[in-house]
Amino acid sequence: MTDAPIPFSKPFRALHELAYLDEVLGSGHTHGDGPFTGRASRQLEAITGAPHALLTGSGTHALELASWLLDLEPGDEVIVPSFTFSTTAASVIMTGATPVFVDIDLATGSLDVDAFEAAVTPRTRAVSVVHYGGVAPDMDRVLAIASAADVAVVEDNAHGLGARWGGRACGAFGVLAAQSFHATKNVQCGEGGALLVNDTSLLSRAEVLREKGTDRSRFLRGEVDKYSWIDRGSSYLPSELSAAVLTAQLEAFDDIQARRHAIWDAYATGLAEWADLTGTSLMSPPPEAEHPAHVFWLLAPTGPLRDALLDHLRAAGVGATFHYIPLHSSIAGERFGRTPAPCPATDDFSARLVRLPLWAGMADAAVERVLDTVRQFRPVAV
């Protein structure tokens, strides 16, 4: 093989990153909560419609803040889809509360709303709604079920910046939502995240928990003349260096999204016939869910055929990959969680899933090569 490998993902390089980093280093304000943190936060509020965005060191940190803010404690339960990243659940057990794993919907890869409803008990304090690939479940139903049961909705919107459901931005539905700016995300600063605070009654405490348990944020705004330790907390804020990169990335958000959508559309169109011929399901979000072109996934007809397709793609230098191993049957999931009902869709989705390379800097020729390589694969006699 002579063609260079096509990576699964490659961090976007924004125009002003270096200039902004230079500005931060020259200013002497390299620690957190400087001007670039403010700029990135306002940009996030504009994109999501959330009233307040607080930058964090990671999406995981944002999820941890959400757990502390809900005052979860031992005996409490949080419903979590089994098909998600470890820290959707690890951020719950940190408080002593129990993650309760439920199944996903094969059509979206996100929460099965019936399974959520069936898993609610008097101990349920929250549901963590993961928008897999930025495809939200039926949020009208989620909000109605949660409200009837007095359950807080937290959105794990790590994948979903720019996603919408029913015309409303993902990240603005829950009382709290977590964003990730990890290197693999559409907008990235290496490691980074944000907590969106939609319930403004939680804002002042969120600031304290994020700033090592102190009211330093109020002090910096001149609202108090000194700051001190007043609550639990940790160091959840990123440095200005991260915020500077994030600001430059967010300024390029429309361009990033336009390119990612063009690639996503090329995959959907270019693989439709092959998918029909081979019994493959292509990611196809329902009309209410506007996805942000974070992933393009397909489901092979069987698990062994998925493995064979991945082998075929990798041998041709195409960096396709699987995704999460279900949490309900993981070592930590069995130890710390509860699984009230089987999760067959999660097991099936995880076993048959392939994600194709998708990054804003991908050239048309690379997209064509991915398409050609996929189409060469014949899982069944056709």
Which residues of this protein are in contact with ligand PLP, per CB under 6 A? Answer: 58-60, 84-85, 87-88, 130, 156, 158-159, 180, 182, 193
Cβ proximity to ligand PLP, 160 vs 379, nearer residue: 160
**Considering the complex, what minimum distance in angstroms separates the CB of residue 379 from ligand PLP?**
28
**Considering the complex, what minimum distance in angstroms separates the CB of residue 193 from ligand PLP?**
5
**Considering the complex, what minimum distance in angstroms separates the CB of residue 360 from ligand PLP?**
17
Q: Is 29 helix (H, G, I), strand (E, B) or coil?
A: coil
Q: Is 371 helix (H, G, I), strand (E, B) or coil?
A: helix
**Considering the complex, what minimum distance in angstroms separates the CB of residue 274 from ligand PLP?**
28
Tokens of 83: 């098909």
**Considering the complex, what minimum distance in angstroms separates the CB of residue 304 from ligand PLP?**
26
Distance (Å, whole) CA 141 – CA 203: 26
Cβ proximity to ligand PLP, 355 vs 369, nearer residue: 355
Tokens of 223: 């609202």
Cβ proximity to ligand PLP, 182 vs 212, nearer residue: 182
Cβ proximity to ligand PLP, 237 vs 275, nearer residue: 237
Q: Are 360 and 120 in contact (CB under 8 A)?
A: no
Length of the chain: 382
**Considering the complex, what minimum distance in angstroms separates the CB of residue 130 from ligand PLP?**
5
Residue 249, CA distances (Å) to 43, 83, 205 in order:
10, 28, 29
Closest listed residue to residue 161, CA positions, set 263, 288, 53: 53
Cβ proximity to ligand PLP, 160 vs 233, nearer residue: 160
> Which residues does 324 contact at the CB level (< 8 Å), separation at least 6?
83, 84, 85, 350
Residue 271, CA distances (Å) to 275, 287, 291, 374, 376 in order:
6, 20, 18, 8, 11
Distance (Å, whole) CA 147 – CA 141: 10
Tokens of 314: 């990798």
Cβ proximity to ligand PLP, 82 vs 280, nearer residue: 82
Cβ proximity to ligand PLP, 177 vs 370, nearer residue: 177
Cβ proximity to ligand PLP, 132 vs 274, nearer residue: 132
**Considering the complex, what minimum distance in angstroms separates the CB of residue 184 from ligand PLP?**
6
**Considering the complex, what minimum distance in angstroms separates the CB of residue 150 from ligand PLP?**
25
Cα torsion 289, 348, 87, 21: sign: negative
Cα torsion 168, 172, 177, 178: sign: positive
**Considering the complex, what minimum distance in angstroms separates the CB of residue 9 from ligand PLP?**
11
Tell me how far apart the terminal alpha carbons of the chain are, to the nearest angstrom.
Answer: 27
Cβ proximity to ligand PLP, 206 vs 305, nearer residue: 206
Cβ proximity to ligand PLP, 58 vs 108, nearer residue: 58
Distance (Å, whole) CA 102 – CA 83: 9
Write the single-letter amino acid at 27: S
What number of H helices and E strands is found in the chain?
14, 13
Write the single-letter amino acid at 135: V
Residue nearest to ligand PLP as judged by C-beta position: 59
Residue 281, φ and ψ in degrees, nearest 5: -100, 130
**Considering the complex, what minimum distance in angstroms separates the CB of residue 363 from ligand PLP?**
25
Distance (Å, whole) CA 32 – CA 252: 22
